[in-house]
Amino acid sequence: MSGTLVGGSVIVGDPAEASQIHNKGSYGAPQSGGALKLELMEAIYLVESGRLKVTEGGSEIPAAELLRRGHRASEGFEVRYLVYREMRQRGYIVKTSSPPLDFRVFPRGGSPNKTPSRWWMAAISERSTFDLGDLLEHLDRTSDVRKNLLLAVVDEESDVTYYEVRRVVPRGRLGAVDLSSAHEALMMADRVLVDDDASAAALHGGHFFGKRIGPGLQLSLIEASFLVELGALKLRDAKTNKPVGLSALKKRARAVQPDFDLRLSAFKDMKGRGMVVKTGFKYGSHFRAYEGDPDKTHARYLVHAVPEEYTAMWPEVSRAVRLAHGVKKEILLGRVTKKEVEYVSLSRFRP
């Protein structure tokens, strides 16, 4: 079938050919008089598939030249085309979307005139910057119209990895921390020791704070700050036996952990949601979060506390998601703002 390149589009003028192309895959937009207007990306795919020949001034234009023209006309065109091509090869109908998102993807067997789109999709190069603020704007836009957001990240070998993005409201089953008595503890270099067996049992038995080491309990600086602020813990310096207040504790914590305040904000928020929160160091994250007893259940989430204006490179994000998937957990980015902590889930997805 033949089409003519006109500006940035391809026009299939023969009504019979136009109808055939449109009916088998919902390509293009029908025009008055029976013609069909194809977007350049659609035309390239059809040329590559051997279903269309595109000419200009009587000369045939190969798919590679069409791709080059698309690249010249629009930044990132080649990345978007790779995603479009793969989704078409997987049997999905794909239509371009209004910026900043790139595509609307319809379910197999569906069509734009009969079926709601399944995903709104952004095509991204692995070289680009992961910007959580932009991602949340995309997520809000898709949520407003009850669509799912899918990110298609294209690597340097032109393979595509897909990530499904969701907002998550984590919830646990624990009640409030017992504040009936304040327990004594000793401040050491980078942790806190509860050496009284009864106090250790009370703190660990209710909310699983710290780790039992013999008859005592060792708390992290984050756990200790949380408990001191609640009034459930009183500290003394292990060397001088002098009282250590909350401000002194936080000052020491910041010295050994510069992002301490960020992590503490996320920790406090998750504890307020009834969760058991433990270090995620073994899994390359800030926290692992349980919905119930960690001795009886596995952690559901790995949580990384991030600032409001968080950016990263995509390989870093990919590693975190892959690691969480490998240990059967869900990675959450806990975005700490002045008002709240909001949680975003990224998970690998195979369309």
Q: Which residues are known to be catalytic?
A: 290, 298, 329
DSSP codes joined into one string, 25-67: T--SEE-GGG-EEEEHHHHHHHHHTTS-EEEETTEE--HHHHH
3-class SS shares of the chain: helix, strand, coil, % to 5:
35, 30, 35
How far apart (Å, rounded) are the C-alpha atoms in residues 273 and 200?
A: 23
Place of tokens 């942790």: 191
> Would you say 335 and 309 are in contact if contact means Cβ atoms under 8 Å apart?
no
Helix (H, G, I), strand (E, B), or coil: what is residue 149? strand
Residue among 117, 150, 115, 241 at smallest CA distance from 188: 241
**Quick one: 107 exposed, middle or buried, by C-beta within 10 A (0-12, 13-18, 19+)?**
middle
- DSSP 8-state assignment for residue 187: E
